[in-house]
Structure 1
Amino acid sequence: MVLITAPGLLVSGENVITCDGDVHRLTCDYGLIVVWSTLYGRTDRSICSTTHPPLQVTDTSCSSSISTIAERCNGLTECEVNTDLLDTPDPCEGTYKYYQTIYSCYPVQKAVICEHGYSTLGCGTGDGILIINANFGRADTTTCSNGVPNGLTKKINCYAPNTLATVAKLCNGQQSCTVEASSTVFTDPCPHTVKYLTVSYICISQGGCNTGC
């Protein structure tokens, strides 16, 4: 039995600029954050300049690309990063800098695969899979319980370790991939319990996200 849901949402593009020392906030009202790029430095004289002398905002050829924001925020619905704590290398001493992140909000696709079942995860032409979350085990007593004795669904909150890493290694970047809900693929976190595999993923342009994806 395979249950798949894919909210019909349009991907939105966002551009967030935060002055150095402030909190960098990324949010998605719908979908999950996928960071395309983050710049640290200065490429414009007017941004974050009102309280600083001209000499500190004149150099506009000062910037570096960083991956920290993507590593912390990808796959979340909202993310706050205190830039004071980032310890980013300084691309131009004496210049007041800012962080600029370009990101998108992607709709999430979900699959639930009952134990011993298979499912093919797929994206459209030119898009690749990015696994956001995956768990093999049992989180409740109702999922994949049709025709199953009550005693085999009572054990909950049991999850196989490394499920996310295993599914990500198999599927990330692929246009489609087949996953199996089986203790032979993952470890058995709760013997004598009927388990299932849940996978959440998004489809991104294969030429697009190159930071943290």
Structure 2
Amino acid sequence: MQQGSMSFIFLLVLLCQCGVKAVILTTCEGDTAQLSCDFTSHVIACESDTARLQCDQGRIQVLSANYGRRNSATCSSGKPANQISNVQCNQGSSLSVLANRCDGRKYCSISASNIIFGDPCVGTYKYLDVSYICIPSGAVLYKRTSCEGGTFRINCNKRFIKVLSANYGRTNRATCSTGKPANQISNVQCTQNSSLSVLAAQCDGKQACSISTSNTVFGNPCVGTYKYLNAFYICYPNNHFIKVSAANYGRTNHATCSSGRPAGQISNVQCSQNSSLSVLATQCNGKQVCSIPATNTVFGDPCVGTYKYLNVSYTCGPNPVSLA
């Protein structure tokens, strides 16, 4: 698989809307195209740069933020080892600072600097890592907690569920603590990384769902600790589904997916597979997430000997078929 071969070009940068989200996706031959309709956005700004959050339609709601450093790779170019070695650098107030500045706005910009956030680790070159959602018009944000042994239930009535964040574990001593001995609530660093994917798989796109708050479902991230499931989700009025508007498996320029390829494999720029749109539409239309290999096996070979790529334009919008 070619390193960095999949590139995403968002026509409307960080666009979050309740209507249509337009995306162009290019995937090199042999890789897999991933089409997805989602509300969430992720921004990273290196220290001294500016983070920009934008919702062309809808309003910003910051989900998580950290000014510090959690890995040695991000914002590391040209930095000496001693400035990127501390990967336990967290600024606890990051979320509240971002929320106060940005929540409820369409556009927000904030400097990733010690002046704004304070310096949680002197001598470390930091970055601001932010996840946020653009809440569409008519959508409502909820937070729900279910104690271990109970059942986590969501009912959006005739609206649709989108889980934004989730953790099965324990991050404070107060929640779900009544009657519990100290040793069962003392570990407040208990997180289960798969919590979001488990809950989303069960609930996303549905009008109601329920799931057992148990080790059986989520696994046990901290044996002996009494845990709880904590989640943020929205109920939104129109489900968002993929609609492919254009597609071509072939080659129409010399530059795309050309790294390391000999001239003979990228010289034919009149290579088009007419059935590309129908193949993509059959595979992906009406879904929220879709994966399809960019291969001759799936699309046929419109130009033998040419290294091809799949170029797709699609939108995310309400399902044309009523789900009521």
* Alpha-carbon distance in 2 for matches of 1:24, 1:191: 43
Could you tell me which amino acid in structure 1 is paired with residue 149 of structure 2?
H
Cα 1:187–1:38 change in 2 (3 A) is same
Please name the residue that 1:196 is paired with: 228
* Cα distance change, pair 135–104 in 1 and its aligned pair in 2 (3 A): same
Helix, strand or coil for the counterpart of 2:232? strand
CA shift for structure 1 position 69: 8.8
Which of residues 17, 20, 28 in structure 2 aligns to 1:37? 20
Kindly indicate whether residue 182 of structure 2 is the aligned counterpart of residue 150 of structure 1: yes
The number of equivalent residue pairs is 141
Q: Which has the larger radius of gyration?
A: 2
Matches within 5 A, 1:1-213: 24=13, 36-39=19-22, 72=41, 77=61, 104-105=136-137, 106-125=139-158, 127-206=159-238, 208-210=239-241
Q: 1:40 to 1:103 in 2, by over 3 A?
A: farther
CA contact (8 A) 2:161 2:208 kept: yes
TM-score between both structures, scaled by the size of structure 2: 0.37
Structure 1 residues 112 and 122, CA gap change in structure 2 (3 angstroms): same
Identity %: 27
How many angstroms apart in 2 are the aligned matches of 1:138 and 1:116? 14
SS of 2:176's partner is coil
Relative to its length, the structure with more strand (as a share) is 1
Q: 1:69 to 1:168 in 2, by over 3 A?
A: closer
**Cα offsets for 1:17-47 (capped at 9, x unmatched):** xxxxxx9566xxxxxx555424589xxxxxx
Structure 1 pair 76/194, CA: closer, same or farther in 2 (3 Å)?
A: farther
| Cα distance, 1:151 vs structure 2 | 1.2
Change (3 A) 1:153 1:37: same
| TM-score, normalised via structure 1 length | 0.54
The residue that corresponds to 2:87 in the other structure is none
* Contact preservation (8 Å) 1:34, 1:209: no
With CA pairs under 8 Å and 6+ residues apart, which has the higher RCO, 1 or 2? 1
| Partner-residue secondary structure (3-state), 1:108 | strand
* Offset from partner CA, 1:104-162 (integer Å, 9 cap, x none): 2532111100010113211122x111111111000101100000011110001211121
Unaligned runs of 5+ in 1: 1-22, 27-32, 42-65, 81-101
Tell me, yes or no, if the aligned pair for 2:40 and 2:164 is still in contact at 8 Å: no
